[in-house]
Amino acid sequence: MSIEEKNEELKAKIAQAKLGGGQKQLDKQHERGKLTARERIEQVLDPGSFSELEMFVTHQVTKFGMDKEKFYGDGVVVGSGTMAGRLVYVYSQDFTVMGGSLGKAQASKITHVMDLAIKVGVPIIGIIDSGGARIQEGLGQYGSIFYRNTLASGIVPQFCLILGPCAGGAVYSPALCDFIFMVEGVSKMHITGPNVIKAVTGEEITSEELGGAKVHSQVSGVAHLVAKTEQECFDQVKKLLSFLPSNYQEAPPAPADCDDPKRLVPEVEKVIPDSPSRAYDMKKIIRAIADHNDFFEVQPDFAKNIITGFIRLAGSSVGVIANQPSVAAGALDIDASDKAARFIRFCDAFNIQILNLVDCPGYLPGKHQEFGGIIRHGAKTLFAYCEAVVPRVSVIVRKIYGGAMSGMAVSKLVGTDFTIALTTAEIAIMGPEGAANIIFKDEIAKAEDPKAMRVQKVAEYREKFANPYCAAEEGWIDAIIEPKELRACLIGLFGQLKGKQELRPGKKHGSIPL
C-alpha cells in the first residue's frame, strides 16, 4: 500500500470515528435538541484548538454480542484545547454510541486525560450525557473516575457540565467536582430513577421533577449554575474560568482593562436604609464596588440568604461571601453554612482572596434548624474560615450580633486579616431590642408606660453601644469608613496582603465536621 493510500485510509477512519454511532444516531441527538459530543467541544473551546486523543479506541468485550457493536471512541471524545488561550483537558460523552454508557475503555480514556490535567496543571472540563454504566462491562468502572476527581481536587479546577442524563453511581463524579452546570429541560441527575422510586415507595414522579435543573439549583444545592441553552452554559464556563487560575500553584489571571482603583461608590450610601430593620439588596453593593460593576454569582438560586461569587478589584479576582438582608434578614442557616463553607474552601485552595460583606443578625432560630444540625453545619463554615490562609477582609455593612461575629469571620480571632466597618454598622453581643430587655429590665417594668420606656431604652442602647466606635475602641475594628470609600479601601487593603504568607502546623489534613 502506498503512502497516499495509507493517508486515505487514515482519513476514512477519522471520518468514521467522527460519525460516532452513525448518522442516524447523530440526527436523533439533534432531534432531542442536543448538540453532539464533538459539537459541544467545538463550542466550549477556542475554534480550531481541539487536539483529540485515543480516537480509535474500542471496547474489547466479546460476550453478550458486544463484538458486533464496536464504535471508534467507545462513547467518549477526549483531548485538549484552549479556552481564551488557556490550555484545558476535556472529555465529552457521546450519547450516540450505546447511549454514552460507561465501559472499561471509556473509563480509561477519561482517566487518561484527568491524569494529564493533574500532571500538566490545567483545568478539567467534563461533559456528561450518558445512560450510566454499561451492563456488560461497567461494573466498578466509575471508581477509577471518582479516584481521579479526588486526586485532582485542590490541584486543578474541575468543571462538570450535565448535558443529558446522569444517573445512579455516575452522579458522584460531578458531585466531586468544583462546579456543576445544568441546562433547563436537558439535564437530569438522580441516584434512583422514577421507575425505581415508584416500585419501592409507590410515589409517582417525573425525571424532571426528581432531578432537573430547577430541583438541583434551588432545592438540593447540587448544581452551581443553570443555563437556558447549551450555548449559554458554555458561556458560563468560559466566564467562570476567567476568574480562576489553572492550578493551585498559580495566581488567578488579571485582565489589562481593570477599573479605576480610586473610584468612589456613592451609590452604596443610597442602598443602605436608615432603618436597621429594613431590607435591601446586598448585590447592589457588590456590583457597585466590582471592576466594571461585574459580579459572577455562584449558586444564585440556593440558600439565597447568603451570596457567593466572584468579582475583580483592580484586576484581581476576589471571592465574595455576603449576607443577603432581603432574604431571612441575612441570617445564617444550614444551607447557607454549607454553601459558604464549600465556596470558602475552593477560594483558599486556588489562591483567590476572600471578601466578607456582613449584615447578619445571627443564626436562624427554630426546631427545624436545631434538629437538622445547624451546630454541625455552622461549624463547617467556621472550619473553612479558620483553615483559609489566603488574604481575607471583612466589612461590617450594617449589623452583626453575637456568634455571627465568628460565623461571618468578622472577628480577627478566626484569622481575618482586616476588619473594617462602615459608618452604618451596628456591632453588639446581641440585638438592641434583646439587650435592652435584659439590661434595662427593671426600669422598663417600673415605668408608667413600659412600651414607651422600652422604645427609649432600645434607642439609647443603639446609640451608646451598638455602633462601630465601641468595637473600634476595643480593637475589633481596624478602620471605620464612609460607604462611598469602600471600593478604594478594599483595593488598598488587599494590595497590602499580596505578599501574605501564613505557616500552619504540618499534618495530613484537618477533620472538617462534615
Q: Is 140 a catalytic residue?
A: no
Q: Which of 75, 79, 103, 168 is catalytic?
A: 168
168 is catalytic: yes
Residue 169 known to be catalytic? yes
Beta strands 306-313; 316-323: pairing state: antiparallel
> Of the listed 403, 415, 434, 492, which one is catalytic?
403
Q: For residues 93 and 161, is the Cβ–Cβ distance under 8 A?
A: no
Question: Furthest-apart CA pair in the chain: how many Å?
Answer: 110
Q: What is d(CA 371, CA 443) in angstroms, rounded to the nearest whole number? A: 37
Which residue blocks in 260-312 are alpha helix, DSSP H?
267-271, 282-289
Beta carbons of 221 and 337 less than 8 angstroms apart: no
Task: Encode 192-233 in three state secondary structure.
Answer: CCHHHHHHHHCCCCCHHHHHCHHHHHHCCCCCCEEECCHHHH
* Residues in Cβ contact with 456 at an 8 Å cutoff, skipping those fewer than 6 apart: none
Q: Which residues pair with residue 81 across a beta bridge?
A: 88
Of 121, 154, 169, 415, catalytic: 169
Catalytic pick among 167, 170, 404, 425: 404
Which amino acid would we find at residue 389?
Answer: V
First to last CA, the chain: 63
Residue 323 CB neighbours (<10 A):
29
Amino acid at residue number 241: L
Location of C-alpha cell 474489547: 60
Nearest-CA neighbor of 134 among 93, 162, 163, 174?
93
- b/e burial code for range 331-355 (CB count within 10 A of at least 16 → b): bbbbbbbbbbbbbbbbbbbbbbbbb
Q: How far is CA 251 from the centre of its chain?
A: 18
- Please give the Cα distance from 489 to 499 (Å, whole number): 18
Residues marked as catalytic: 168-169, 403-404
